């Protein structure tokens, strides 16, 4: 059976809705009952990031040289988590995914490895973050927030209290990256306002070119400022090493943040 211009290799339902794995031209993608791709991998080169928004989610590398601990809220097919395991061997990762069936698909169809550095919690991401913040849980250098359901941003994380709890779990110089749909204007504006308030305006927006995604980068209070020329040089080196368009990210961050870029970048 064909769907979304590809071959359906897996289809099922759980209490939250449809789960589909589609394969097209050597690329395998996870769908939640719509054309939107939740995760994708190239079967011949599975350690690369196929989706433009996923590549934009590692734009933190412009501002940090390493990461020891990362938190992923919203596992999906696990492509970003798999990428982190592959490229950052010293990093320990905790991933929170609401749907146990999604975790199983990440293992069975997207090659997410069993790895001692990775711990997966099946549960509500919003509840988990708030509990960890209240009990002074671990701190993370990077937090990825990519918790979409078929209707958009999961409701349990769409609150100012949740984002405040995320800040509590960041290291003093940590960075949080949030994947949002720019087409959901009210949700996007509300989340941006919350983050700007919580992170004292140290928030940058990164629209993903030719896509509806907008990545928000929120920097904790001790995240340093970086010289633009040094960042431009670093972006070229990162592009060569990771095969990701870091010079484009830097250009777009500079373009779309005329009033807040100075909180992170000096010119």
Q: What is the rounded distance in angstroms from the CA atom of residue 110 to the CA atom of residue 101?
A: 13
204: Cβ contacts below 8 Å, ≥ 6 apart: 216, 217, 219, 253, 256, 257, 260, 261, 264
Q: What is the rounded distance in angstroms from the CA atom of residue 69 to the CA atom of residue 75?
A: 16
Phi/psi of residue 10, each to 5°? -155, 140
Length in residues, the chain: 267
Query: What are the residue ranges of helices labelled H in the chain?
Result: 52-56, 79-87, 100-110, 125-134, 160-169, 185-198, 228-242, 246-256
Instruction: Pick the closest to residue 97 from 164, 23, 154 (CA basis).
Output: 154
189: Cβ contacts below 8 Å, ≥ 6 apart: none
Q: Which of 5, 15, 141, 146 is labelled catalytic?
A: 146
Catalytic residue check, 146: yes
* 3-state secondary structure at position 96: strand
Which residues does the annotation mark as catalytic? Answer: 146
């Amino acid at each position: 059976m064909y769907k979304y211009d590809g071959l359906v290799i897996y289809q099922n339902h759980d209490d939250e809705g449809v789960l589909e794995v589609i394969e097209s031209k050597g690329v395998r993608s996870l769908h939640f009952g719509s054309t939107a791709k939740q995760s994708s991998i190239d079967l011949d080169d599975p350690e690369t990031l196929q989706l433009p928004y996923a590549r934009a989610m590692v734009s933190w590398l412009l501002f940090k040289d390493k990461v020891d601990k990362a938190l992923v809220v919203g596992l999906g097919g696990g492509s970003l988590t798999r990428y982190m395991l592959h490229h950052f061997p010293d990093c320990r990762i905790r991933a929170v995914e609401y749907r146990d069936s999604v975790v199983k698909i990440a293992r069975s169809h997207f090659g997410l490895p069993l790895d001692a550095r990775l711990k997966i919690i099946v549960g509500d991401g919003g509840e988990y973050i708030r509990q960890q913040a209240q009990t002074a849980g671990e701190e993370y250098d990077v937090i990825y927030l990519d918790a979409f359901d078929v209707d958009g941003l999961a409701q349990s994380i769409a609150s100012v209290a949740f984002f405040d709890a995320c800040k509590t779990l960041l290291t003093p110089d940590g960075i949080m990256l949030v994947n949002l749909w720019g087409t959901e204007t009210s949700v996007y504006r509300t989340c941006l306002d919350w983050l700007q308030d919580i992170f004292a305006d140290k928030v940058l927006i990164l629209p993903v070119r030719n896509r509806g995604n907008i990545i928000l980068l929120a920097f904790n209070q001790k995240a340093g400022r970086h010289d633009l020329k040094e960042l431009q040089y670093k972006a070229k080196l990162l592009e060569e090493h990771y095969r990701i368009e870091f010079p484009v990210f830097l250009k777009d961050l500079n373009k779309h943040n005329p009033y807040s870029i100075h909180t992170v970048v000096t010119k």
